[in-house]
Amino acid sequence: MGLAITASIYFTGCAAHNSADIASITFTSTDGVTIYARLYYPMQQDTATMPPGLILLHRAGASHEVWQSFTHRARQTGYMLLALDLRGHGDSTSPPEYPNNHRDYNSTHWLACLDDFSQAREILISHGANPDNIGVIGEGLGANLGLHWYYREQRLHALVALSPGLEYQGIQTESVARELTQRPVLYLASDKDNYAVRSATSLRDMTPGFAELRTFSGFAHGTDLFVTSPNAMEITLQWLDGILKQDAGHSGSS
C-alpha cells in the first residue's frame, strides 16, 4: 500500500542502517498537519526475521520524550518503535482551523489523530517492522485514543493502556472497550491514581476476551509508572512478548 505522506529521516549515526539507529521523522497527515515522530530501531535483531513494532502515544500536554526510558529498554529486547508527537504537541502542528491551544480541542479534533496513527503504522512497516506483529501503547489521553484506534484498526495485534480514563478531553472509551472481542488488552494504573485505577478496572471488566489489569503502588500516572515501579516496564514487555513474538515470521501483509 502506498503512503500519502512526506517523510524526512535523519539518522543519528552513519547513513547506513545499523542496530544503534534512531531517526527523526516528519510526515504530512491527510488534512495537511505536520506530524513529528521518533523511530527507534532494535538494538538486537535476528536478520532472518522482521522485528515486532510498537507505536507510542503520549498523554495530553506531553510529547514523544516521555517514552525515553521505555524505548531504550524495548529496543534492547528487539522491538522497533515509533513515538509520535500528537497534533498540537511537541514538533507536530495542527490545522489553522483548530484552537491555538490543545486544551481547547474537542473530541472531533482529537479523533482526527486516528488517521495520523494509521499513517504511522505504515511508516513503521516501511522501515522493516513486521505488519503481523504490531502493537500500540498509550498513556492518559493517548490510552483513550489508542483504544479507539485499536477498535478501528483490526491490523493491530495488542494494546497497552497506561492510566486510561472512561473519558479524557471528550474521548470516551466505554463503547469501544465493549467491542474489543477476543483482542488482547493490558490495562495498567497506580492504586492511588484514583480516577485512572477506577477507569482501568471498569474497562477491564467490560472488555470481552483477553483483558488484563495490573496495578502498582503509588500515585504515578502514565509513563511515570515506569519510573516509580520499574517492574511495570518488565511486566508490560513480557506481556507484549507473549503476543507479538510468538509468531515472528519473515514477512507479513499490511
Q: What secondary structure does DSSP assign to 179-228, as a single string?
A: T-TT--EEEEEETT-HHHHHHHHHHHHHS-SSEEEEEESSS--GGGHHHH
Residue carrying the nine cell digits 530501531: 41
Q: Which helix (H) or strand (E) is 40 found in, with range?
A: strand 34-40
Whole-number pLDDT of residue 48: 65
pLDDT digits (tens, 9 = 90+) for 113-164: 999 999 999 999 999 999 999 999 999 999 999 999 999 999 999 999 999 9
Task: Please check the confidence at residue 47 and state whether its pLDDT lies above 90.
Answer: no
Q: How much is the average pLDDT of 25-37? A: 95
**Domain parsing of the chain, residue ranges:** 9-244
Rounded-to-integer distance, Cα 197 and Cα 162, Å: 10
- Banded model confidence at residue 11, pLDDT cuts 50, 70, 90: very low
Alpha helices, DSSP H, located in the chain:
68-76, 107-111, 113-126, 141-152, 174-177, 194-206, 225-228, 230-244
| Architecture of the domain defined by 9-244 | 3-Layer(aba) Sandwich (3.40)
N-to-C CA span, the chain: 7
Residue of 140, 136, 135, 246 lying closest to 188 (CA atoms): 140
- Cell numbers representing residue 225 in the block: 509508572
Q: What secondary structure does DSSP assign to 64-83, as a single string?
A: GGGGHHHHHHHHHTT-EEEE
Full-model pTM: 0.90
